[in-house]
Structure 1
Amino acid sequence: MSGIRQATHAGSWYTDKGKELNKQLEDWLGAAELSHGPARAIIAPHAGYQYCGACGAFAYRQVSPHVVRRVFILGPSHHVRLAGCALSVNAKYRTPLYDLVIDEQIYAELAATRQFEWMKQQVDEDEHSIEMHLPYIAKVMEDFKSAVTIVPVLVGSLTPEREADYGRLFARYLSDPQNLFVISSDFCHWGQRFRYTYHDRTWGEIHQSIQRLDRMGMDIVESLNPPAFTEYLKNYGNTICGRHPIGVLLQAVSHLEKTGQKMSLKFLKYAQSSQCRNMSDSSVSYAAASLVFE
C-alpha cells in the first residue's frame, strides 16, 4: 500500500482551507461539553459540516487524545453494493490539516481473516462516510499526530448474522483502550427524494414525528440490544444510513458483555437539517453518541 486518498469532498462538504477549518472545528469542540468520556466508541454524522459539524463535536469532545493511538472508522457504503466489509488500498488519507496514516499491521490482521475485500480507488474517493470524519480525527489528535494511525473500513449491507460475525471480529480491538471506534451514521432521511415519508400524526408535526422515531431508535441503541435494533429497523424502516456500522458496534459490545465487561452508551446531541411540516419538505437527522467502558 503506497497510495494517498485525496480529500475529494473538501471544499464542498467542508472547507479545504486549513486555518478556516481548524477554527471551525475548535469553535464546535469548544461549545460541546465533556460529559460521557473517555469514549471507546462514538457515533457521529457524516453530512456537510454546515449541517452537522456542531452536532458531531459532541461525540468528538468525549475522546481522550492522550489515550487513543488508533482510530477505526466504520462507514456505510453509499454507492457500491457490498455483502461484507472492505479495506482501502491506500497508505494515507489526506485532510486539509495533515495526512492520516493507515495502520498496516491491523490491516494485515484484518485481511488475514479473509472476511474483507479491497475498495477500488474510485470507490474509496467517491465515498464520503469515512472522509467526513477525518478532519475531526486530525483535529482531536493533533498533539499526537505522529503517533496515531487509522483503520478505515467500508461497511456493506450486512445481514444480522454478518453483523454478528464482524462484531465478534472487532470485539478484541474494541476492548483495547488505545483504540477508538468511530461509527459513521446520519439518522432519519425524510422526504419524497429519500422515498421515506413516515408520519405518525399522533406524534405531532412531521418534524416532531421524525424526532420521536429517531429517539426510539436512539433509546434502543443506548440499551445495547442488537436484536431490538434490527427489529426496530424492520418495523419502522427508519432510513438510518449507518445502521450496519451501528449493528456491528452493538454486536461487538454484546460479545464483550458476555465476558463480564460493563459498558454505557449515551446520545449527547440531536439535530435536524430542517424542520419538515409539509410532504414536499425534506430533512436529514444527526445524532452524536459516546460509548464508555465502566
Structure 2
Amino acid sequence: MLSSIRPPAVAGLFYPADPITLSTELTSYMDQAVQAQHLQVSNKAPKAIIVPHAGYIYSGLVAAYGFFHIQRYKHKIKRVVLLGPAHTVYLQGCALPESSHFCTPLGDLPIDRAGAAKLAADDAVTISNIPHKEEHSLEVELPFLQHCLDEFELLPILVGEIAPEPMASLLNLVWGGDETLIVISSDLSHFHPYDEAKRLDQDTCQKILANNSDISSEQACGCRSLNALSLQLIRHNLDITQLSYRNSGDCAASYGADKKRVVGYASFTVS
C-alpha cells in the first residue's frame, strides 16, 4: 500500500498551527486540569473518554479534563479508536480513510490498517478520504492524544446515519484490550440561550451517565457514537463518570462569545 497523508484541515483555525505554540497551549490546558482539586484518578485504566471538539479557546479545557485521565497509562495505550460525527458530508453508516497517516503540527500518526480491515468487511463502512478531508471532529483530538500518549496507531471513524446496535457491533470489533483506548468526540446542544443550554445539557449528561442509547442529534452532535458506546458499557459492565461541563458562553468575557447562542461541552471517563 502506498503511503498517503491526510494533512491538517483546521490547524490555525480550531487550534494553533505552530507546533511550539500548540504544545504550550496543550500544556496549559493539562496543567489547569491537573490543578483541579476534585479530579480523582481511578486505579483502573480508562477504556474510553468522551471529549468535545470545538475550537480550543472554547472547549480545550473541558477536553483536557478527559485527556488528563489517560496520561498515566500512556505506556500501555498503543491504539486509539477515535469516533466523531461527520459535519461536512452526508454519510450513511461510517467512513474510514484511505490515507495511511493523519498529520498534525505535532507529527504524523499511522492508521491502524488491521483494525480498518476488520471494519471494512461490513456493508455499513465506506473507505474514502472525502468525508475526512475537511472534518474537524476527529482532527482536534489528535494534538491532545499526541501530547498525552507515547507512540500509538490511530483508527479514525467518521460516523453518519447508523442505528445504535449496528454501530455498537462495529465498535465491538475493534474494542480490544488494555492497549486500546476508545475516544468519542462530541459536543452537546447547539445555539440555545445560555441558561436554556445548561438545562438541556444537564439532561443530556444524565442520559449519558444512565447509559441511555436514545440521545438525539439535537442533544449531542456525536449522538450515534454516544449511543453505541452506551450499549458497549452495558455489555462490558463498565462505569462512566462525568468530569467537566461548560458552554461557549462561559468564554464570553475573554473571547466575546454570544450568550444568546451557545454550544455545550462535557467530558467523561469510562473504566
TM-score by length of 1: 0.82
User: Which residue number corresponds to residue 255 of structure 2?
Assistant: none
Residue 215 of structure 2 is aligned to residue 267 of structure 1: no
User: Which residue number corresponds to residue 149 of structure 1?
Assistant: 153
The list of structure 1 runs, each at least 4 consecutive aligned residues, that deviate by more than 6 angstroms after superposition, is none
Residue 97 of structure 2 is aligned to residue 97 of structure 1: no
Number of residue pairs matched? 256
Q: Which protein has the larger Cα radius of gyration, Structure 1 or Structure 2?
A: 1
User: Which residue number corresponds to residue 264 of structure 2?
Assistant: 285
SS of the residue 2:167 aligns to: helix
User: Which residue number corresponds to residue 28 of structure 1?
Assistant: 29
User: What is the alpha-carbon distance in structure 1 between the residues aligned to residue 52 and residue 227 of structure 2?
Assistant: 16
User: Which residue number corresponds to residue 128 of structure 1?
Assistant: 136
Once the two structures are TM-superposed, the CA of residue 172 in structure 1 deviates from its matched residue by 5.0
SS of the residue 2:182 aligns to: strand
Once the two structures are TM-superposed, the CA of residue 101 in structure 1 deviates from its matched residue by 0.6
User: What is the alpha-carbon distance in structure 2 between the residues aligned to residue 48 and residue 11 of structure 1?
Assistant: 10
* 8 A Cα contact 1:86 1:155, kept in partner: yes
User: What is the alpha-carbon distance in structure 1 between the residues aligned to residue 61 and residue 147 of structure 2?
Assistant: 14
User: What is the alpha-carbon distance in structure 1 between the residues aligned to residue 86 and residue 173 of structure 2?
Assistant: 24
Once the two structures are TM-superposed, the CA of residue 120 in structure 1 deviates from its matched residue by 3.2
User: What is the alpha-carbon distance in structure 1 between the residues aligned to residue 196 and residue 180 of structure 2?
Assistant: 36
CA-based RMSD: 2.0
Once the two structures are TM-superposed, the CA of residue 175 in structure 1 deviates from its matched residue by 5.2
SS of the residue 2:178 aligns to: coil
User: What is the alpha-carbon distance in structure 2 between the residues aligned to residue 90 and residue 15 of structure 1?
Assistant: 23
Structure 2 residue ranges without an equivalent (≥5)? 253-257
Structure 1 residue ranges without an equivalent (≥5)? 192-205, 257-261
User: What is the alpha-carbon distance in structure 1 between the residues aligned to residue 244 and residue 4 of structure 2?
Assistant: 36
Amino acid at match of 2:136: H
Taking a change above 3 Å as real, the CA distance of residues 239 and 217 of structure 1, as seen in their structure-2 partners, is: closer
* 8 A Cα contact 1:187 1:286, kept in partner: yes
Taking a change above 3 Å as real, the CA distance of residues 265 and 175 of structure 1, as seen in their structure-2 partners, is: farther
Amino acid at match of 1:131: E
User: What is the alpha-carbon distance in structure 2 between the residues aligned to residue 9 and residue 156 of structure 1?
Assistant: 20
User: Which residue number corresponds to residue 46 of structure 2?
Assistant: 39
Once the two structures are TM-superposed, the CA of residue 280 in structure 1 deviates from its matched residue by 8.7
User: Which residue number corresponds to residue 111 of structure 1?
Assistant: 120
Once the two structures are TM-superposed, the CA of residue 35 in structure 1 deviates from its matched residue by 2.2
User: Which residue number corresponds to residue 196 of structure 2?
Assistant: 209
Taking a change above 3 Å as real, the CA distance of residues 180 and 280 of structure 1, as seen in their structure-2 partners, is: closer
SS of the residue 2:239 aligns to: strand
* 8 A Cα contact 2:81 2:174, kept in partner: no
TM-score by length of 2: 0.88
User: Which residue number corresponds to residue 50 of structure 1?
Assistant: 57
Amino acid at match of 2:62: C
Amino acid at match of 1:155: V
* 8 A Cα contact 1:167 1:255, kept in partner: no
User: What is the alpha-carbon distance in structure 1 between the residues aligned to residue 139 and residue 173 of structure 2?
Assistant: 25
